[in-house]
Structure 1
Amino acid sequence: MASIFTKIINKELPAYIVAENDRFLAFLDIMPLKKGHVLVIPKEEIDYIFDVEDELLGEMMVFAKSVAVKIKKIVPCKRIGVAVIGLEVPHAHIHLVPIDGIGDINFSNPKLQVEKAEMESLAERIKNA
């Protein structure tokens, strides 16, 4: 069964896409820990990050790095935190979260509600950074 991320890849569901190539997709998390929280996914449906073939995993990290650089240019923060949890959606993904302290990447924190217009603007600014 296709995951929600596969439906986003196939454009069956909308997403605030910030970067895309033939192998990966990056989009804003709709329930972010911080504004600018992005998910990076392989387009190939693979459940668990450590089941991703080595070469593809390396390419995924390089893609994530390029997205993190763009986020940092747009969202004021000290760093872009990286997390791989892997329990929420059965599709490998990397969280990129703008952080000023370690508590900013605590997934038990309440999620933000960000207006659609702000998400669209943020996605466009990151994409064009």
Structure 2
Amino acid sequence: MATLFSRIIAGELPGRFVWQDPEIVAFLTIAPLRPGHTLVVPRREIDRWTDADGALLARCFEVAQAVGQGVQRAWNAPRAGLVIAGFEVPHLHIHVAPVWDMSDFDFSEVKEEEDQSALDEAAAKLRTSLLDLGYEQALNTGPVA
């Protein structure tokens, strides 16, 4: 059975994509730590990051770094935070979010965003930032099967 993330990638479920390339996608989470909280996900279903081959893992981190630059710029944050937890969905994903201090990493405080327009605005803001940084992958934001 396909993971939740595979269903989002395939367009079966909605997703606010900010990055797409042949191997990796990035989309906003519906339960953000802070506005702009993005998940970097390989298209291929791999449960644990420790099971990914080195090349795919390196590509995930390259995209996470680009997204980190984008969120830092878009929200004028001093840092972009990165977390690999892996408990929520059995599909490798890297959390990237603008952060100001360690309290921004408190996953026990997240809840699903009720204002869908806030998520749309955050996605548009991040895509613009990524494009300004020269990442044309931010243009390909629809589902790709």
TM-score range, shorter chain: over 0.9
Q: Distance in 2 between matches of 1:106 and 1:124?
A: 25
Verify the 8 A CA contact 1:28 1:119 in the aligned structure 2: yes
Q: Distance in 1 between matches of 2:91 and 2:71?
A: 23
TM-score, L = length of structure 1 = 0.94
Q: Where is the helix percentage greater, Structure 1 or Structure 2? A: 2
Q: Deviation at 1:33?
A: 1.1
Aligned to 1:84: 84
Aligned to 1:121: 121
Q: Which amino acid aligns with 1:65?
A: Q
Q: Deviation at 1:103?
A: 1.0
Alignment RMSD, CA only?
1.2
Task: Find runs of 4+ consecutive structure 1 residues off by over 3 angstroms.
Answer: none
Q: What 5-or-longer segments of structure 2 have no aligned partner?
A: 130-145
Q: Which amino acid aligns with 1:94?
A: I
Alignment of 1:1-129 (within 5 A): 1-111=1-111, 113-129=113-129
Q: Percent identity?
A: 34
TM-score, L = length of structure 2 = 0.84
* Aligned residue pair count: 129
Deviations 1:45-102 (A, max 9, x none): 1111111110110111001111111111111322111101011100000001211111
Q: Counterpart of 1:122 in 2: which secondary structure?
A: helix
Q: Distance in 2 between matches of 1:110 and 1:58?
A: 28
Q: Distance in 2 between matches of 1:18 and 1:78?
A: 21
Q: Distance in 2 between matches of 1:8 and 1:112?
A: 17
Q: Distance in 2 between matches of 1:9 and 1:110?
A: 23
Q: Distance in 2 between matches of 1:64 and 1:110?
A: 21
Verify the 8 A CA contact 2:25 2:41 in the aligned structure 1: yes
Q: What 5-or-longer segments of structure 1 have no aligned partner?
A: none
Q: Which amino acid aligns with 1:87?
A: F
Verify the 8 A CA contact 2:113 2:119 in the aligned structure 1: no
Q: Counterpart of 1:108 in 2: which secondary structure?
A: helix
